[in-house]
Every structure is written in structure tokens, then in C-alpha cells.
Amino acid sequence: MSSTTSQNDSRAHVDHYSKDVPWYDKEPENFSPACRELLQNYSHIPPGEVTSHVLEMVPSPEFTVNFAKLTCAQRERAWAISPYPCIGRFRFLDLSISLQPSYHRILSFLKEPQSHHTLLDLGCCFAQDVRKLVHDGVPSENLYACDLEQSFLDLSYDLFKDENTMKAHLFTTNVFAEDGPLDKLQGKMDVVYTASFLHLFGWDDQLKICKRIIKTLKPRKGSTVFGRQMGNLKGQEVPNKSVVGQDSSFIWLHDVESFTRLWDTAGRETGTKWKTWGALNDAEGMGTNHWGEKGVQGLRFEAVRVE
């Protein structure tokens, strides 16, 4: 099961920045009430300006410098950095962490007084899920979030207007980097959240990432990773149709069985054991119209260390 880079790369014909793709919406279809609430009451954006803030926010002076040639529209700036479907389809407005069945349990755990329980959002983009946790009462200094693109992290402070208040540790790294910032967190996280991330890669790279997650989590029972991503009714390798910046021509979309197999393998290779849970669903804008791929579903998942 390899994540091959083939000569016949199925993405070769795609203009990465084209907006003439099924995963680019002009405006958000469903602005989740939770996100509207966050932007109004955490970022203090007046109710009538929430949508225009997301679409057309005036950039900070830094961004005027960095993105002088780009339009001022917030989402347009993100699209120009890296045109992921989660940006084209405004999936970052879902605050997907709060849609997880275990959200309230994990929230209570992170809020236990004096506990200093920690969470890392891996592949965070705007770190919107970290903002949701902070708004729901988690001390921001116990939260970590990382992404390959520093520009997404910079943009996130503009989106949420919290540069002077938020103490979460946002940092840039490549998840595959050896001796990078993730190594400094080795064995320090109680929880890892990772959304729309593993599905960017083929099986072998996903396995590497799972092992990296295991290293980052505290080496004890109960350490937890959870998230959501694209899945498929039948776990399989499919051509990587759009996503930018990745080497894989093929990505692996899981069903619950193959997701469990992935974690069983990661456990075996690290001397650990994981109890996994997963559920496919055709909601959350991840259905067939997203990729035109047969059988595509959303997958929510959780893996808890049991040994």
C-alpha cells in the first residue's frame, strides 16, 4: 500500500488556483450558528458584518505588505495561499471539533481546574477549532496548533481578531519533519485533534502521521486522537484530484474497517494499543458533489490508547 507519485499524475491538468472547480463556493452555503456566535461574541464582530468580515475583511498592515497583489477578501487571501477544498467550501466555518460526539467530554476534561490538560490541533489551517475551545472556556495557554503554512496562522489572527488576547501556541511545521517543533512536544499532549488532514495522504504517509501523533501524546492509557475527514463507503486508494502541495498522486479514503486497521498497524509498530471508533456520514458537505468520487462520505473518528 504505497502513496505513489506517478508520472501520470491525475492532478497535472488542474490549475490549482482556478475557481472553476466543484470545491469553490462563492459564498458560504450554511453559516453555522456556532461560528456566527463565535465571530460575534469571541471576535466581537457586529452581527451585520459577520459574513462580510469572512469574505472581505480589510487586511492588517502586515498582510498589506505580504499580499500586496491580492484582493482584500479574507477567504480570497486564503485561497491564494493554498486552494484547499476546506477553504473553497468554507468548511472552516463548521468548527468541526464541536460536532464530534465526544466534544463535551473532551471539553470538560480540558477545563478541569489546575489540570493543565493539553490539546494539539494538527493541520489546523485557521486554528478555528482552537478558538472554539477557548470561547468554550479552555485556558488558551494549554492549546497548541500547527500547520505547514505560516500564512494561514497569520491570517487566523485577522479572522478572529485575537492577536492580543489568545495565548495558544500556534506554530508552523511539516508533520514529517525530523527534529522539528513537534519533537519538542513529544509525550506532552493529552489529546490530538486532526480534521481534514489525514485524507491528504496515501496509506504509508498516514501511518507515519499516526506514529508521529502517538509520539506526541502522553505515553499513557486514555491519550486520545479524534477528528473528521473524507472517507469512503469502501476504504480504498483514490487519485488525488486537487489538493495542493502534496507529493502523493493517490490518497487513502477510509471506511471504519480500514481506519481501525491503520491504527492497529500504528499500534503494533510502536508497541501501543488503540481502541478506535468511527462513523461514516454523508453530511457536512463531503458527499459526492465534493469530489465527484463514488462512495465518498464524511468520516468521524476517535482512537484512544488502551495499552
Ligand X SMILES: C[S@@+](CC[C@H](N)C(=O)[O-])C[C@H]1O[C@@H](n2cnc3c(N)ncnc32)[C@H](O)[C@@H]1O
3-state DSSP: the chain helix, strand, coil percent, rounded to 5? 40, 20, 45
- The residue to which cell 488556483 is assigned: 17
Chain residues 33-62 in contact with ligand X, contact rule CB under 6 A: none
Strand order in 169-172's β-sheet? 169-172, 143-147, 119-122, 191-195, 224-232, 296-305, 274-281
- Picking from 174, 267, 183, the residue whose alpha carbon sits closest to that of residue 225 is 267
Using the contact rule CB under 6 A, the part of the chain among 29-37, 41-49, 141-149, 259-267 near ligand X is 141-149
Using the contact rule CB under 6 A, the part of the chain among 106-114, 190-198, 230-238, 274-282 near ligand X is 190-198
Q: Smallest gap, in angstroms, from Cβ of residue 255 to ligand X?
A: 20
Q: Smallest gap, in angstroms, from Cβ of residue 113 to ligand X?
A: 28
Give the nearer residue to ligand X in terms of CB position, either 123 or 285.
123
Find the binder of ligand X among 59, 83, 88, 123 (CB under 6 A): 123
Q: Smallest gap, in angstroms, from Cβ of residue 72 to ligand X?
A: 21
Using the contact rule CB under 6 A, the part of the chain among 33-41, 146-154, 232-240, 297-305 near ligand X is 146-154
SS3 57: coil
The neighbouring-strand residues paired with 119 are: 143, 191
Q: Smallest gap, in angstroms, from Cβ of residue 19 to ligand X?
A: 17
Question: Helix 256-270 to helix 203-216 angle, to the nearest 10 degrees?
Answer: 60
Residue 1 in contact with ligand X, rule: CB under 6 A: no
Q: Where are the beta strands (DSSP E) in the chain?
A: 119-122, 143-147, 169-172, 191-195, 224-232, 236-239, 250-253, 274-281, 296-305
Give the nearer residue to ligand X in terms of CB position, either 59 or 83.
83
Q: Smallest gap, in angstroms, from Cβ of residue 165 to ligand X?
A: 22
CA–CA distance, 59 with 276 (Å, rounded to integer):
42
Pairing of strands 169-172, 191-195: unpaired
Q: Smallest gap, in angstroms, from Cβ of residue 87 to ligand X?
A: 7
Residue 242 in contact with ligand X, rule: CB under 6 A: no
Q: Smallest gap, in angstroms, from Cβ of residue 299 to ligand X?
A: 13
User: Is residue 13 packed enough to be buried (19+ CB in 10 Å), middle (13-18) or exposed (0-12)?
Assistant: exposed
Chain residues 73-102 in contact with ligand X, contact rule CB under 6 A: 82, 84, 86, 91-92, 96
Residues 6+ positions from 31 with CB-CB distance below 8 Å? 50, 51, 93
Give the nearer residue to ligand X in terms of CB position, either 142 or 156.
156
Binding residues for ligand X (CB under 6 A): 82, 84, 86, 91-92, 96, 123-125, 147-149, 152, 174-176, 195-197, 200
